């Protein structure tokens, strides 16, 4: 009996590797643990377009009712106690984004003991995970920043018609005694006091920042740059930092995964991709924008990628050969969009915290 083999462009091969890529990319993505379809997720995922046509989703926020009610049998008709429902809307677009790998040829493949499909899948999974993490970080901050290791030019202003929008002044805090980016100096470092301030504002701003509910307790997340985290650690006593760190021990919720600790019901995280600047103060002061995050701070929408054998997957996988069959080319792409959640020109579910932020080794 002859052996069954699958050609490079076989439909079953395409389905297998596109599914595998989706799993690998999700595992590698920092923000994956914060994403979900529920209203209590930091990154709310919309799947309206995964099966249907279109490139835009409009979603809304119903505002709270306000004002007086009526007592007893007093007439309500025609009074201010009858209130129209108020809604704000936001929208998100999706577009395709692809990346590929290409072998140099069969002789090159002969020289190395690599499975090019596996290596290609792994490399593309890492790229897509990093790519989406970088976008989520930029959209949350509303700025591109200066990090040249990103996949995006420093002049990048957004993709898929989702424009990068700066954080409004109502949802932007400054460390220390600074009141603007031009006021930032070396004394305005990230510390616990600015986190206390953020909690106080988050609970009183209208609309308030919706916390995450974990075992019946309200929690927020503060995502700092690695350098900002270093400032906090070196400016609290070792005993206090141990208390902060130990407060997350034994916690099962995904939002505690890789957390630094917890302070004042705020779970502390760090990441190298948090957006940094080099033009604060008088124009040359290094700074970073930490993110104080609650539910629905970001929105991500997915479309479906139609495979050649039918059906849809989150990622498409295409294999073909160049140079008359000599070189294997693999392309993987997905159709999606990312943006900060903004209603009535105001950020929803988050604050930004700007502080002086210098590489501690320089």
Q: Which of 142, 144, 137 is nearest to 29 (CA)?
A: 137
- Inter-residue contact 289 to 295 (CB < 8 Å): no
Question: Which of residues 39 and 109 earns the better pLDDT score?
Answer: 39
Question: Which of residues 80 and 304 earns the better pLDDT score?
Answer: 80
pLDDT of residue 290: 99
Mean pLDDT of 225-242: 91
Q: Tens of pLDDT along 264-289?
A: 999 999 999 999 999 999 999 999 99
Whether the pLDDT of residue 199 is over 90: the answer is yes
CA–CA dist 148, 169 (Å, integer) = 27
Whether the pLDDT of residue 2 is over 50: the answer is no
Confidence of residue 111 (pLDDT cuts 50, 70, 90): low
Confidence of residue 312 (pLDDT cuts 50, 70, 90): low
The predicted model scores a pTM of: 0.88
CA–CA dist 230, 15 (Å, integer) = 44
- At 153, list the tokens: 């030019």
Whether the pLDDT of residue 11 is over 60: the answer is no
pLDDT of residue 345: 94
Q: Tens of pLDDT along 115-128?
A: 777 888 889 999 99
pLDDT of residue 163: 98
Mean pLDDT of 292-307: 89
Whether the pLDDT of residue 309 is over 80: the answer is no
Whether the pLDDT of residue 77 is over 70: the answer is yes
pLDDT of residue 88: 86
Mean pLDDT, the chain, integer: 89
Whether the pLDDT of residue 64 is over 90: the answer is no
Q: What angle do CA 241, 243, 248 make, to 5 degrees?
A: 105
Question: Which of residues 255 and 7 earns the better pLDDT score?
Answer: 255
Return the beta strands (E) in 124-191 as ranges. 158-159, 162-163, 172-174
Whether the pLDDT of residue 250 is over 90: the answer is no
pLDDT of residue 320: 87
Q: Which of 228, 241, 236, 237 is nearest to 175 (CA)?
A: 228
CA–CA dist 353, 247 (Å, integer) = 23
pLDDT of residue 114: 66
pLDDT of residue 294: 97
**Percent of the chain predicted with pLDDT > 90:** 60
Whether the pLDDT of residue 325 is over 90: the answer is no
């Amino acid at each position: 009996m002859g052996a069954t083999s699958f050609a490079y462009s076989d439909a079953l091969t395409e389905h297998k590797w596109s599914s595998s890529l989706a799993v690998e990319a999700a595992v590698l993505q920092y923000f994956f643990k914060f994403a979900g379809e529920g209203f209590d997720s930091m990154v709310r995922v919309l799947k309206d377009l995964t099966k249907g046509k279109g490139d835009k989703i409009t979603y809304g926020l119903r505002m709270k009712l306000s004002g007086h009610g009526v007592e007893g049998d007093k007439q309500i008709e025609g009074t201010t106690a009858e209130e129209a429902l108020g809604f704000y809307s936001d929208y998100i677009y999706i577009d395709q984004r692809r990346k590929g790998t290409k072998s140099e040829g069969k002789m090159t493949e002969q020289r190395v003991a690599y499975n090019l499909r596996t290596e290609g899948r792994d490399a593309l999974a890492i790229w897509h995970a990093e790519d989406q993490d970088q976008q989520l970080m930029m959209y949350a901050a509303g700025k591109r920043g200066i990090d040249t290791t990103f996949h995006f030019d420093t002049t990048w202003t957004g993709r898929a018609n989702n424009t990068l929008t700066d954080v409004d002044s109502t949802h932007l805090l400054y460390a220390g005694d600074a009141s603007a980016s031009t006021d930032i100096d070396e004394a305005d470092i990230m510390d616990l006091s600015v986190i206390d301030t953020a909690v106080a504002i988050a609970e009183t701003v209208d609309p308030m920042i919706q916390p995450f509910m974990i075992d019946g307790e309200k929690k927020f997340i503060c995502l700092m740059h690695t350098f900002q985290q270093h400032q906090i650690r070196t400016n609290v006593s070792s005993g206090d930092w141990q208390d902060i760190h130990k407060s997350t021990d034994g916690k099962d919720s995904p939002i505690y995964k890789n957390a630094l600790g917890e302070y004042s019901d705020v779970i502390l995280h760090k990441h190298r991709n948090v957006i940094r600047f080099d033009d604060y103060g008088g124009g040359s002061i290094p700074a970073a924008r930490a993110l104080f995050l609650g539910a629905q701070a970001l929105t991500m929408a997915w479309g479906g990628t139609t495979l050649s054998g039918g059906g849809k997957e989150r990622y498409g996988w295409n294999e073909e050969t160049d140079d008359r069959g000599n070189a294997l080319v693999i392309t993987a792409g997905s159709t999606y969009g990312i943006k900060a959640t903004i209603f009535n020109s105001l950020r929803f579910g988050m604050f930004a915290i700007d502080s002086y932020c210098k590489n501690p080794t320089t």
